Amino acid sequence: MEEIAKALELKKELDVLRPLDKEQEDRIMQKFRLDWNYHSNNLEGNSLTYGETKALLMFGVTAQGKPLKDHFEVTGHNEAINWVIDMVKGERPLTENFIRQLHELLLKEPYEVDAQTPDGKPTKKRINVGSYKTSPNHVKTVTGEMFYFATPEETPAKMADLMVWYNESIEREDINPILLASEFHYKFIRIHPFDDGNGRTARILMNFILMKYSYPPVIIKTEDKANYFAALRLADAGNIGAFVDYIAKNLNNSLELMIAGARGESIEEPDDIDKEIALLEKRLNSYGTKIEKQKSFYNLQEIYLNSIVEIAKELKEKLSKFDDYYLHKNVFIKINDHPSKDISALTNSVGLLTGDVREIRIEVRYGQMKKQGLENFSFSFQIIFVFEVLKYLVGLNSYNNHVLVKNYEVLSKEEMDSLVKIVVKEHNKQLSSVLK
């Protein structure tokens, strides 16, 4: 087989470059692991994109609008891969218990799926984890024919036979790991021992065998799904060589990538930049809230009439209780560098507003009390609105003393009440201090 011969030559080339620098190896294995997680799950219908898969595994970012089950599948698959990599390092043998433990890590916990009774009625089927199937999982082919896997009753014996075959194979002096891993994958799929997750489990076990013999993992890409299943169908028809050749061809892609990485060359593939863009877009979408509005005449007018003027009017009303005690009293509005205007002249006017408004101030000025001994008492306070391109800030008496940072939307009633309360309380505090 030409592809197997090529794989053996590439493996020799890779072995010459070993041991790899740890950082290089970690970088290569991270790419393999991310690709493996995405493609193996996507082959089985998982809806997470590559970017969403990477965002979930590397940054813990979940994909909005995607099923929770799809997130569990990806994180479970990643845990299973990491566990298998540890098992390769620890030289743990492949056993039935190993396979059941792997399946439990992969699927995490039991769940229910839609199913049909033998007479075609809808029902629910419980998917158990870490134990062999309890009901048939035969499938209909595209031609309408039934394709039969092992029955639940046959499964334990067939799995035992598979492990006998595997253990005898690894004892052979002329063992070819590529043949062994490919055939194990196919034999496992023909049994289909679990209620769900058989494809993902088969691919992990195949790669476990390859990695035990110092090969990189094979990544079956989702865009190559048709060829993958066609190779499996050829094996079903008796041409196992076609499936082995298909696996070897994909193994060569992994070997070439690992060799490039070992040499310090780029391990990016042609579509990696698209994946990077998709990941960045996903992270960006999950970062904060998108700012929908920006500085404009319309937005300034809304804030002016429905926030600034309302605060000024409320301040004038609250402080009117003291009007009889002050010779000078009023609330003004100042726009940019224009002269301050009494709010009575501005409440219904937006004549001074333009897109160029940098700041608007509410100025409270009360002075010269009509009480003996308090003639020199005065109170002044400013609420300053500073307008930037994407947000505006609300400060008290100073640009730097910001108490609110807002997008271009009117203040809530609670926010306006809070600002009025601050000003009135400060007036009362200062007046109380001179009445002692």
- Same domain, yes or no: 203 and 240: yes
Residue 73 structure tokens: 């599948």
Whether residue 96 is contained in a domain is answered as yes
pLDDT at 138: 80
How many domains does one find in the chain? 2
Whether residue 375 is contained in a domain is answered as yes
Q: Which residues of 177-194 are buried (b: 16+ CB within 10 A; e: fewer)?
A: bbbbbbbbbbbbbbbbbb
- Same domain, yes or no: 224 and 321: no
**How would you classify the pairing of strands 341-342 and 359-369?**
unpaired
- Same domain, yes or no: 430 and 331: yes
- Same domain, yes or no: 133 and 34: yes
Boundary (domain end) residue, out of 234, 254, 286: 286
Which residues on neighbouring strands pair with residue 368, listed in sequence order? none
Whether residue 292 is contained in a domain is answered as no
The residue range of the domain holding 255 is 2-286
- What whole-number distance in Å separates Cα of residue 213 and Cα of residue 178? 9
Whether residue 370 is contained in a domain is answered as yes
pLDDT at 427: 94
Looking up residue 105, the CATH number of its domain turns out to be 1.10.3290.10
- Same domain, yes or no: 218 and 348: no
Tell me if 48 sits within 8 A of 39, measured CB to CB. Answer: no
Whether residue 72 is contained in a domain is answered as yes
pLDDT at 276: 64
Boundary (domain end) residue, out of 251, 286, 321: 286
Which residues on neighbouring strands pair with residue 255, listed in sequence order? none
Whether residue 52 is contained in a domain is answered as yes
- Same domain, yes or no: 272 and 319: no
- Same domain, yes or no: 217 and 301: no
Boundary (domain end) residue, out of 252, 286, 320: 286
- Same domain, yes or no: 308 and 233: no
- Count the neighbouring beta carbons within 10 Å of the beta carbon of residue 15: 10
- Count the neighbouring beta carbons within 10 Å of the beta carbon of residue 395: 19
pLDDT at 257: 94
- Look at residues 172, 324, 178, 348 and name the one whose alpha carbon lies nearest to residue 254: 178
**How would you classify the pairing of strands 378-387 and 359-369?**
antiparallel
Tell me if 73 sits within 8 A of 80, measured CB to CB. Answer: no
Per-residue H/E/C for the chain: CHHHHHHHHHHHHHHHHCCCCHHHHHHHHHHHHHHHHHHHHHHCCCCCCHHHHHHHHHHCCCCCCCCHHHHHHHHHHHHHHHHHHHHHHCCCCCCHHHHHHHHHHHHCCCEEEEEECCCCCEEEEEECCCCCCCCCCCEECCCCCEECCCCCCCHHHHHHHHHHHHHHHCCCCCCCHHHHHHHHHHHHHHHCCCCCCHHHHHHHHHHHHHHHCCCCCCCCCHHHHHHHHHHHHHHHCCCHHHHHHHHHHHHHHHHHHHHHHHCCCCCCCCCHHHHHHHHHHHHHHHCCCCCCCCCCHHHHHHHHHHHHHHHHHHHHHHHHHHHHHEEEEEEEEEECCCCCEEHHHCCCCCCCCCCCCCEEEEEEEEEEECCCCCCCCEEEEEEEEEECCCCEEEEECCCCCEEEEECCCCCCHHHHHHHHHHHHHHHHHHHHHHCC
- Same domain, yes or no: 214 and 256: yes
Whether residue 381 is contained in a domain is answered as yes
- Backbone CA torsion sign across 185, 187, 188, 189: positive
pLDDT at 111: 86
- Same domain, yes or no: 160 and 208: yes
- Same domain, yes or no: 221 and 274: yes
Q: Which residues of 235-261 are buried (b: 16+ CB within 10 A; e: fewer)?
A: beeeebebbbbbbbbbbbebbbbbbeb
pLDDT at 136: 85
- Same domain, yes or no: 48 and 171: yes
- What whole-number distance in Å separates Cα of residue 337 and Cα of residue 28? 61
- pLDDT tens for the chain, 436 residues long, are 799 999 999 999 999 999 999 999 999 999 999 999 999 999 999 999 998 999 999 999 998 889 999 999 999 999 999 999 999 998 899 999 999 999 999 998 988 887 766 666 788 888 889 999 988 888 776 666 778 899 999 999 999 999 999 999 999 999 999 999 999 999 999 999 999 999 999 999 999 999 999 999 999 999 999 999 999 999 999 999 999 999 999 999 999 999 999 998 888 876 666 666 666 676 677 676 777 788 888 899 899 999 999 999 999 999 999 999 999 989 999 999 888 888 766 555 566 676 689 999 999 999 988 888 888 999 999 999 999 999 999 999 987 788 899 999 999 999 999 999 999 999 999 999 988 7
pLDDT at 279: 61
pTM of this structure = 0.64
Return the ∠ at Cα 363 (arms to 359 and 368), rounded to 5°. Answer: 155
- What whole-number distance in Å separates Cα of residue 262 and Cα of residue 89? 19
Whether residue 291 is contained in a domain is answered as no
